[in-house]
């Protein structure tokens, strides 16, 4: 369970940074973990970013197309994962819960986890097909800057005490 939560947090951060890095103008339809992410970039900010990475306009269009496609696939997986967590909670709310059903839900969650990791790998491979090594390293440096800024602004997840029990 802890691993699944960490994966969700990591993939959410990847989604927030990838869409904000490329300045997708569309607001996300999924609720973002941790209270939201950075707002989309303006056209001027997108152009500055493109120049900073050294991308051509064609590369930027390819990256934006890639992230729109990935966003849709990732959103579908997150939606199904939320449904399964809700269903699992209902199942385990009973004292004598259906252990077979709970196990089936866990198995499906594991499959979704594997799909998320595969999607992440596919995304990383696609980025490397669009950008050259120098551009890729600049992109990673920007992502690292954003991550550090995000952590300074919102803190590390491990720094927060657990919420009080009702």
> Which mean pLDDT values do the consecutive 10-residue runs of the chain (166 residues) have?
48 50 46 54 91 96 95 96 97 96 97 97 97 97 91 70 60
Within-domain flag for 165: no
E strands, 67-119, are: none
- Give one word for 145, left, alpha or beta, with left for phi > 0 and alpha for psi -120 to 50: alpha
pLDDT of residue 154: 79
Domain, as residue range, for 103: 11-155
What is the number of structural domains in the chain? 1
Within-domain flag for 166: no
Within-domain flag for 5: no
For residue 130, what are the CA distances in angstroms to 17, 40, 59, 61?
18, 22, 6, 10
pLDDT of residue 13: 46
pTM of the model: 0.69
pLDDT of residue 164: 64
């Amino acid at each position: 369970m802890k691993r699944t939560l960490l994966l969700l947090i990591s993939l959410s951060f990847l989604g927030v940074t990838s869409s904000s890095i490329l300045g997708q103008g569309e607001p996300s339809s999924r609720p973002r973990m941790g209270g939201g992410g950075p707002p989309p970039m303006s056209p001027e900010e997108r152009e500055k970013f493109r120049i900073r990475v050294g991308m051509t306009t064609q590369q930027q269009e390819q990256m934006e197309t890639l992230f729109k496609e990935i966003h849709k696939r990732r959103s579908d997986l997150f939606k199904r994962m939320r449904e399964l967590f809700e269903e699992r909670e209902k199942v385990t709310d009973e004292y004598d819960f259906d252990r077979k059903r709970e196990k089936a839900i866990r198995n499906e969650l594991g499959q979704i986890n594997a799909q998320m990791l595969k999607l992440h790998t596919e995304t990383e491979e696609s980025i490397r097909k669009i950008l050259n090594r120098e551009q890729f390293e600049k992109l990673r440096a920007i992502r690292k800057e954003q991550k550090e800024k995000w952590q300074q602004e919102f803190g590390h997840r491990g720094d927060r005490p657990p919420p009080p029990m009702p």
